[in-house]
Amino acid sequence: MLQTHFGLLLREIFATNLFPFIKPRHMGHAIPRRDLVRAAQEYALPQIQIVQPKLVICLGLPTFNALREVCGHSRVYPLAVAIRSHFSFDSARIWCQAHTGGQGQAMRNAGRAKVPGDWRRMKRDARIGA
């Protein structure tokens, strides 16, 4: 999606996980909300302030809502609403997108069919890239 819509490769951007630790259980296990919110406050926001990106893409609803919460915004549900609920922090626009893994995209209302349109809307808003 990054290359298709922005003409960028992963190695050409700053990419990080919101949660900086190894999960104590299997990969499919959810991280507790309180831990995501703390990670957003202590790790993600300082990184955004240092890097000063124009665009922050949160892959998945839990990550997006953790950032919303620490920026003083209410959480939003479901994913389709979150994708249209971008907000600003410092000079960055923060967007939610379906997680790029198959399970995350399958959770999008019509599955993978809506994902490219979601990314096109984000690109138009960001006005960066290809």
How many folded domains does the chain comprise? Answer: 1
Within a domain: residue 54? yes
Within a domain: residue 71? yes
Q: What is the pLDDT of residue 4?
A: 92
Q: What is the pLDDT of residue 126?
A: 84
Within a domain: residue 37? no
Which structural domain range is residue 70 located in?
Answer: 1-9+48-130
One-character DSSP codes across the chain: -HHHHHS--GGGS----SS-S--SS-TTSPPPHHHHHHHIIIIIHHHHHHH--SEEEEESHHHHHHHHHHTT-----SHHHHHT--EEETTEEEEEE--SSHHHHHTSTTGGGGHHHHHHHHHHHHT---
Within a domain: residue 20? no
Q: Is the pLDDT of residue 105 over 60?
A: no
Within a domain: residue 35? no
Q: Predicted confidence band at 107 (pLDDT cuts at 50, 70, 90)?
A: low
